[in-house]
């Protein structure tokens, strides 16, 4: 199936007719770990056949940079999969959309909405701080009882993104939030995991529990977003564009009649674009906050260092703001270390070659699926000192006065044409949520002494297994409140 004349291809795993390399990909390890282990035997870059589709795994940062940056355009497409097609209405929206003018247009519309929020009174900092206030209130109301914080973090990130998309928010007891948390979880557990249907599309013709679950969850999501869209649409005023939906509706009005079919702005395209931003906005940040809290439970000495820095640089008479980021270096380095050791997307989102190209000395034909193994890049022992260890100090200079990048083998948000578009927002949320929480609360393990598992569950988002902890108001915070 591959032309061979004068061409060199990456080492390929053994493969059989029809099944391809499937029998050799059977492992109890999670995909990113398994791919990292295969590196020992097959090298930094190797290939396999997932049934009928030819796939290449890239495990090393200089090759990954070649794919994402240097030849970014050649590899900027996405493979079509049964599961991502279900989520995205056959490739609409941004994240699972083919490389081309349509993808570019929606990406730009979202980016222009981000700039809308940078310089005005309802900016991200203000919105996030409002949500941090509600979050801290809700955590304080637990009065130090052991609890699972997932719902609170989910609500806080959902409301930030809801302000961005619709200029609205949810209340804590709104049923929509619980519904959303449930379907989102099901979607993450079933999406793009190279389950049978993604390898052999014909397998979807047979009854399949996971696929039915996925379809149901996507339907629930679409219903919920449609409801929101309907309410907001009635408020639309072309002279006052305030959020993502307004931007998209305005583009629709401006484009009407004069564009090719390829650049259509239909209600379904709008739904899928908002859906991507919503899903990405909620699931990524809340997941990273959970990972952070879990690591701080395991490493109380790191938590104490962060708190000491907050006490010294900010104190208790005011709450943290974004410009404190260059003061709270220990917190910043902890966030960087979390994004390294537990990347949100350990294999990024699968890329696809949209032209014949090459990686290093190897030929890569058009249509090849490319998995960038960010996990292996972030855990590469030739680039990182003791990569398995949680060490925030690795991002600080000797005097602990400056943030540093110890190696280039690090890109938690990807890079190149498909780089994450939410990095600025995500970093702002992570910093503010965590600094607000740690200024006020001590984190304690429940009475049974059980620490969170740091193993995680592989998926489009690498999630932590649910865990419980106690949020106890700090003595120094309480005293400061009393004397204020
Ligand atoms: C794509 C990481 C938060 C929106 C991605 C990719 C990564 C990533 C690794 C894939 C890059 C690739 O395939 O090459 C993260 C991390 C986050 C985060 C670590 C939080 C800590 C967000 C937020 C938003 C967002 C808050 C939106 C508000 C997107 C979108 C894409 C994307 C739309 C798809 C881009 C495309 O395919 O063109 N992100 N992300 N992300 N992210 Fe994020
Ligand atoms: C999360 C579950 C939602 O219900 C749907 C959704 C939409 C966009 C996805 C997101 C999920 C997971 C995280 C993704 C995001 C697009 C970009 C982001 C994959 C599946 C990342 C980290 O790459």
Instruction: Walk along the chain (484 residues) in steps of 10 and give the mean pLDDT of each run.
Output: 80 90 86 95 95 94 98 97 95 97 97 89 91 98 97 97 94 89 95 76 82 96 94 91 94 74 86 97 97 98 98 96 97 98 97 97 96 98 98 97 97 98 97 98 97 95 97 95 85
Distance of CA 41 to the CA centre of its chain: 30
CA gap 331, 324 in Å, rounded: 10
Domain encompassing residue 77: 61-351+390-483
288 lines ligand 1 (CB under 6 A): yes
Instruction: Tell me, yes or no, whether 16 lies in a domain.
Output: no
How high is the pLDDT of residue 193?
Answer: 74
Distance 278 CA to ligand 2 centre (A): 8
Ligand closest to Cα of 287 equals 1
Instruction: Tell me, yes or no, whether 240 lies in a domain.
Output: yes
According to DSSP, the residues that pair with 321 across neighbouring strands are: none
How high is the pLDDT of residue 258?
Answer: 61
∠ CA(289), CA(116), CA(164), 5° rounding? 40
Instruction: Tell me, yes or no, whether 38 lies in a domain.
Output: no
| Choice from 420, 423, 432, 433 to test ligand 1 binding pocket (greatest atom count within 8 A of CB) | 420
434 lines ligand 1 (CB under 6 A): no
CA 345 to ligand 2: nearest atom: 22
CA 221 to ligand 2: nearest atom: 4
Q: What is the DSSP string of 82-122?
A: HHHHHHHTTT-SSTTSPSSHHHHHHHHHHHHHHHHHHSSSS
- Retrieve residue 404's tokens: 């540093």
∠ CA(300), CA(306), CA(380), 5° rounding? 75
pLDDT, the chain, mean: 94
CA 218 to ligand 2: nearest atom: 4
Instruction: Tell me, yes or no, whether 28 lies in a domain.
Output: no
Do the Cβ atoms of 433 and 132 come closer than 8 Å? Answer: yes
Q: Closest by alpha carbon to 330, among 391, 404, 392?
A: 392
Distance 49 CA to ligand 1 centre (A): 27
pTM above 0.90, yes or no: yes
ipTM: 0.99
Instruction: Tell me, yes or no, whether 383 lies in a domain.
Output: no
| Choice from 243, 341, 412, 422 to test ligand 1 binding pocket (greatest atom count within 8 A of CB) | 422
Nearest CA owner, ligand 2 atom 22: 345
CA torsion 244-249-251-252 (nearest 10°) is 150
Instruction: Tell me, yes or no, whether 234 lies in a domain.
Output: yes
Do the Cβ atoms of 17 and 55 come closer than 8 Å? Answer: no
Report the CATH number that the domain containing residue 198 is assigned in CATH.
1.10.630.10
End-to-end CA distance of the chain: 74
Q: Is 136 annotated as contributing to ligand binding?
A: no
CA gap 74, 459 in Å, rounded: 25
Ligand closest to Cα of 100 equals 1
CA 93 to ligand 2: nearest atom: 8
Do the Cβ atoms of 295 and 438 come closer than 8 Å? Answer: no
- Retrieve residue 413's tokens: 């948000």
How high is the pLDDT of residue 173?
Answer: 83
Instruction: Give the count of domains, the chain.
Output: 1
Ligand 2 environment, Cβ below 6 A: 95, 184, 187-188, 191, 221, 275-276, 279-280, 283-284, 344-345, 349, 460-461
CA 185 to ligand 2: nearest atom: 2
Ligand closest to Cα of 416 equals 1
Q: Is the dihedral of CA 28, 31, 36, 38 positive or negative?
A: positive
- Retrieve residue 312's tokens: 């010294």
Instruction: Tell me, yes or no, whether 317 lies in a domain.
Output: yes
Q: Closest by alpha carbon to 78, among 362, 276, 323?
A: 276
Distance 285 CA to ligand 1 centre (A): 10
In 194-328, which ranges are continuous DSSP H helix? Answer: 196-199, 209-234, 244-255, 267-298, 300-313
Do the Cβ atoms of 76 and 64 come closer than 8 Å? Answer: no
Q: Closest by alpha carbon to 429, among 164, 170, 241, 142?
A: 164
How high is the pLDDT of residue 260?
Answer: 63
Task: Express each pLDDT in 287-327 by its tens digit.
Answer: 999 999 999 999 999 999 999 999 999 999 999 999 999 99
Distance 318 CA to ligand 2 centre (A): 35
Q: Which helix (H) or strand (E) holds 258?
A: none
Instruction: Tell me, yes or no, whether 411 lies in a domain.
Output: yes
């Amino acid at each position: 199936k591959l032309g061979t004349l004068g061409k060199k291809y990456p080492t390929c795993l053994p493969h059989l007719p029809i099944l391809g390399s499937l029998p050799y990909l059977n492992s109890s390890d999670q995909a990113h770990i398994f791919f990292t282990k295969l590196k020992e035997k097959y090298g930094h870059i190797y290939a396999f056949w997932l049934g009928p589709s030819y796939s290449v795994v890239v495990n090393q940062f200089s090759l990954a940079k070649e794919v994402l940056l240097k030849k970014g355009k050649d590899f900027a497409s996405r493979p079509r999969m049964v599961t991502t097609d279900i989520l995205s209405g056959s490739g609409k929206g941004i994240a699972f959309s083919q490389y081309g003018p349509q993808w570019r247009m929606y990406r730009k519309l979202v980016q222009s909405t981000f700039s809308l929020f940078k310089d005005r009174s309802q900016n991200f900092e203000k919105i996030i701080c409002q949500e941090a206030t509600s979050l801290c209130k809700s955590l304080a109301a637990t009065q130090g009882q052991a609890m699972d914080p997932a719902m609170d973090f989910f609500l806080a990130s959902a409301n930030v993104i809801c302000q961005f998309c619709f200029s609205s928010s949810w209340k804590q007891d709104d049923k929509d939030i619980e519904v959303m948390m449930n379907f989102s979880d099901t979607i993450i557990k079933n999406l793009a995991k190279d389950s049978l249907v993604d390898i052999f599309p014909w397998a979807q013709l047979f009854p399949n529990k996971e696929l039915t679950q996925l379809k149901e969850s996507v339907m629930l999501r679409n219903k919920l977003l449609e409801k929101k869209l309907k309410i907001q649409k009635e408020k639309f005023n072309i002279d006052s564009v305030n959020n993502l939906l307004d931007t998209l509706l305005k583009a629709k009005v401006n484009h009407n009649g004069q564009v090719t079919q390829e650049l259509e702005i239909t209600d379904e395209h709008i739904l899928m674009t908002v859906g991507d931003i919503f899903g990405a906005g909620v699931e990524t940040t809340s997941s990273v906050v959970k990972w952070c809290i879990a690591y701080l439970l395991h490493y109380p000495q790191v938590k104490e260092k962060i708190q000491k820095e907050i006490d010294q640089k900010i104190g208790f008479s005011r709450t943290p703001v974004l410009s404190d980021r260059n003061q709270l270096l220990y917190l910043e380095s902890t966030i960087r270390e979390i994004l390294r050791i537990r990347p949100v997307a350990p294999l990024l989102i699968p890329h696809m070659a949209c032209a014949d190209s090459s990686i290093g000395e190897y030929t890569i034909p058009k249509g090849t699926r490319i998995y960038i193994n960010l996990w292996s890049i972030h855990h590469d022992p030739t680039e990182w000192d003791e990569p398995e260890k949680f060490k925030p100090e690795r991002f600080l200079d000797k005097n602990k006065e400056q943030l540093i990048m110890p190696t280039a083998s690090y890109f938690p948000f990807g890079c190149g044409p498909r780089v994450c578009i939410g990095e600025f927002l995500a970093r702002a949320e992570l910093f503010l949520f965590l600094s607000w929480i740690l200024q006020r609360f001590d984190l304690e393990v429940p009475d049974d002494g059980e620490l969170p598992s740091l193993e995680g569950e592989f998926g489009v988002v690498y999630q932590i297994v649910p865990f419980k902890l106690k949020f106890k108001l700090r003595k120094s915070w309480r005293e400061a409140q009393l004397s204020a």
